[in-house]
Amino acid sequence: QPSSFSPSVGAATSFVFTVRVPANPPCWLSGHTVWASRSVSKRLEEKTWTCRTSAPNHKRVVTHFYDGIFLFPAGMNAAVRAVVRMGIYVGAKVYLIHEGYQGMVDGGENIKEATWEGVSSMLQVGGTVIGSARCKDFRSHEGRLKAAHNLVRHGITNLCVIGGDGSLTGANLFREEWSGLLAELVEQADAVQKYSALHIVGMVGSIDNDFCGTDMTIGTDSALHRIIEVVDAIMTTAQSHQRTFVLEVMGRHCGYLALVSALACGADWVLIPEMPPEDGWEEKMCQKLSANRAGMKRLNIIIVAEGAIDRNNKPITTDYIKNLVVKNLGFDTRVTILGHVQRGGTPSAFDRILASRMGVEAVLALLETTANTPACVVSLCGNQSVRVPLMECVQTVKVQKAMDQKRFEEAVKLRGRSFENNLKTYKLLAHRKPDNFNVAVLNVGAPAAGMNAAVRSAVRVGISEGHKMFAVNDGFEGFYKGQIKEIKWGDVGGWTGQGGSLLGTKRTLPAKHVEKIAEQMRKHNINALLVIGGFEALECLLQLYEARATFEEFCIPMCMLPATISNNVPGTDLSIGADTALNAIVETCDRIKQSASGTKRRVFIIETMGGYCGYLATVGGLAAGADAAYIYEEPFDIRDLQANVEHLTEKMKTSIQRGLVLRNENSSDNYTTDFIYQLYSEEGKGVFDCRKNVLGHMQQGGAPSPFDRNFGTKISAKAMQWLSQKLVETYRRGQVFANTEDSCCLLGMRARALVFQPVVQLKDDTDFVHRIPKEQWWLKLRPLMKILAKYKTSYDVSDSGQVEHVIHSRPKDSDASVAM
């Protein structure tokens, strides 16, 4: 009831709160300076005002949730940074507790108030800068009593916990015991009432990705990067010496890392604890290895999860597999145990962005808690933030129990839909069937890392579905020239880790050569078409759809997979290749920031690719910790540039004496990279100097990231299954005939769902002049980037997560988890 709400505004420099109000701002805001952003909440369908107020001449913000936020890690530094800065932004006191629960029990210097500058320069650092430790003391009542005493001394009643299932379960137990612990500590009723409630929000930091209720945990993608780096390095020596390598990866009793890395590198065999091989697997594995060698493959890769077991729950070791291969096949075989290499290294771009988003969401969740709010975990469902009750997520014990009782199908389901879809995709890529229909696959547009993984997946899933697969070289230019040939199972071996486009790709559109393309389709009897590419691929499918009225050859099922570093295709949140480009940008920015930190008082202007789409500049800026990012979608003028210069001038007065500014290549016709460089150089004279760097086509190159390999592999498999279904539905009287809108689709990831969308229905959502979608989901991340760079701005909370039960956290008909 806004009319009766009278906030007690204290001396706080600033705070943020959200209230539901009438159409006009409430009268009780008079006398305060207010920055308000009005939005419509899709979830509540009510108008909200998000207000940032500054009220001088008072001493504190009297609210039940600003007594202090506590943060201890067992995860990513990006999450630490996001929680600290978002907490400070909303006016909270934020404390860092060093050495985890041990620091909470010991107190003293382990509990320190965090500062804005104190969490700078940590995005690119692996591990955790504030330490983490296992704590036996916290498992005892006496230890938790000490911990409660130390928290009360600092007025801390809100905990943001980053860790695995053990850490989060311990935090929930601590919360349940809180009132009893306080009763032992204090006698004064008002003191008990003041700290009577302990609020907890968790973020899952674990390389194992074994937490129920989330598609991806902080740290998993970075661990996959380490595994794939090792596999790519090993494959060169294995190729040279015709060796078999047996690799053991971590994950305890969870096979996620083993399964996904096997998909990403195209391993010959994978062993995971959730789905032990059937009896007699040794003979089948040796037969497959031998068949692959006979198919001119010079190496074999076997990936084993450290907890791998057989159907009798007997461990399967790497030495056992090595001796088996040597004895039965005589292959030169080596064992490599990756060990703790997987836990280290520089965090990936995906993990930085995930941790930053989750950190901000965790603070918002704490601000919305009440005495009756259960502890929750902020997590990721598809591409959307959600909140799930903490104790519903900690179900790993149920998985272990199912495996112990040999209920392996149930164990796979308990791991979640992401794990289940990964396993289904791996099985699809392992079997072959007789020929049925003819399907052509081609690349269109600029090269994007992950294209080859998508082609490999399409070819092998197509063959496993019983189709004859045809590869078209050089896009539609090669199509009308007749550069079409059958591509077989072994032809795509080793393609997953290759960058660029091995098929060749061109930007040529089919409109001028429709007749010749139709002739080639008739000649090769093409029954379905899979196009993998960027914005040009969308235009190609639209032209082929329109050509159906003239040429019956195009009345076949057609599907497009978005593959472009620009991520500018309408109908999808993510595109194949964008993650690899982001990692290239972030790696370069890390090196540049290191240079700037050494020279001091230096600002770098970085130009990214993307055409008119500002995705790379915005999300790359968020992952690299940039001070600003200029994009076409958010127009800017000389006043904005001047404000950024003034912001950097103030920043140089702090301990962080460096700056990083990103600019999308087509963000403005007049405010070019050279202009911005010259302006910053002139206006920053005497305070900082300036340098510029145009990244250029290095963003298109390099080996695909684990995310792009798996994203390409799995959505390509899903597209081929869809094409198979459409071929059966549209096969009549000895031929395929498909002329409806829903037979020519783009497969894209929308929030939580992978959706097949007719391309003609995407025309209204597209700005064809600038080659971008009319609405961009990632624009909601821009305020987050500005907040973490210490700008005064409003943050729209209308799209923040809501508490959802694990069993209801995904729509029934969606497969968003396929993308993870």
Catalytic residue positions?
A: 208
Q: Is there a binding annotation on residue 566?
A: yes
Q: Is there a binding annotation on residue 356?
A: no
Q: Is there a binding annotation on residue 251?
A: yes
Which residue's structure tokens are 């907490």?
Answer: 87
Q: Is there a binding annotation on residue 567?
A: yes
Indicate the burial class of 733 (C-beta count within 10 angstroms; 0-12, 13-18, 19 or more).
Answer: exposed
Q: Is there a binding annotation on residue 213?
A: no
In 86-141, where do the E strands start and end?
Answer: 94-97, 111-113
Indicate the burial class of 807 (C-beta count within 10 angstroms; 0-12, 13-18, 19 or more).
Answer: exposed
Element (H, E) at 199: strand 199-204
Q: Is there a binding annotation on residue 243?
A: yes
Q: Is there a binding annotation on residue 665?
A: yes
Q: Is there a binding annotation on residue 527?
A: no
Residues in CB range of 144: below 8 A, 6 or more apart:
105, 138, 173, 174, 177, 181
Element (H, E) at 20: strand 15-20
Work out whether strand 300-305 and strand 269-271 pair parallel, antiparallel, or are unpaired.
Answer: parallel
Q: Is there a binding annotation on residue 642?
A: no
SS3 content of the chain, % helix, strand, coil (to 5): 45, 20, 35
Q: Is there a binding annotation on residue 340?
A: yes
Nearest to 272 by CA among 306, 246, 300, 301: 306
Alpha-carbon distance values, 816 to 248, 552, 572, 752, 808 (Å) = 29, 34, 12, 5, 14
Instruction: Say how far apart CA 242 and CA 238 lie, in whole Å.
Output: 5
- Assign residue 519 a region: left if phi > 0, alpha if psi is -120 to 50, beta otherwise? alpha
Q: Is there a binding annotation on residue 474?
A: no
Q: Is there a binding annotation on residue 609?
A: yes
Single-letter amino acid code for the residue at 753: A
Kindly report the three-state secondary structure assignment for every residue of 252-277.
CCCCHHHHHHHHHHCCCEEECCCCCC
Single-letter amino acid code for the residue at 612: Y
Nearest to 608 by CA among 577, 629, 636: 629
Neighbours of 13 (CB within 10 A): 10
Q: Is there a binding annotation on residue 560?
A: no
Nearest to 366 by CA among 84, 66, 149: 66
Q: Is there a binding annotation on residue 507?
A: yes
Which residue's structure tokens are 């795509």?
Answer: 492
Q: Is there a binding annotation on residue 602?
A: yes
DSSP 522-551: HHHT--EEEEEESHHHHHHHHHHHHGGGT-
DSSP 767-792: ETTTTEESS-GGGGGHHHHHHHTT--
The DSSP symbol for 139 reads G
Instruction: Say how far apart CA 805 and CA 816 lie, in whole Å.
Output: 17
Q: Is there a binding annotation on residue 565?
A: yes
Q: Is there a binding annotation on residue 533?
A: no
Q: Is there a binding annotation on residue 166?
A: yes
Q: Is there a binding annotation on residue 306?
A: yes
Alpha-carbon distance values, 429 to 224, 249, 576 (Å) = 20, 21, 19
Instruction: Say how far apart CA 689 and CA 700 lie, in whole Å.
Output: 30
Instruction: Say how far apart CA 324 and CA 320 lie, in whole Å.
Output: 6
Q: Is there a binding annotation on residue 334?
A: yes
Q: Is there a binding annotation on residue 610?
A: yes
Q: Is there a binding annotation on residue 700?
A: yes
Q: Is there a binding annotation on residue 654?
A: no
Alpha-carbon distance values, 287 to 96, 258, 501 (Å) = 55, 21, 32
Say if residues 172 and 138 touch (Cβ distance below 8 Å).
no
Instruction: Say how far apart CA 128 and CA 222 lie, in whole Å.
Output: 14
Instruction: Say how far apart CA 221 and CA 241 lie, in whole Å.
Output: 30
Q: Is there a binding annotation on residue 38?
A: no
Instruction: Say how far apart CA 172 and CA 186 lie, in whole Å.
Output: 22
Q: Is there a binding annotation on residue 207?
A: yes
Kindly report the three-state secondary structure assignment for every residue of 634-701.
ECCCHHHHHHHHHHHHHHCCCCCCEEEEEEECCCCCCCCHHHHHHHHHHHCCCCCEEEEEECHHHHCC
Query: Which residues contribute to the annotated binding site?
Result: 68, 134-135, 164-167, 206-208, 243, 250-252, 306, 334, 340-343, 507, 564-568, 602, 609-611, 665, 691, 697-700, 771
Query: Which residues contribute to the annotated binding site for ATP?
Result: 68, 134-135, 164-167
Query: Which residues contribute to the annotated binding site for substrate?
Result: 206-208, 243, 250-252, 306, 334, 340-343
Query: Which residues contribute to the annotated binding site for Mg(2+)?
Result: 165
Query: Which residues contribute to the annotated binding site for beta-D-fructose 2,6-bisphosphate?
Result: 507, 564-568, 602, 609-611, 665, 691, 697-700, 771
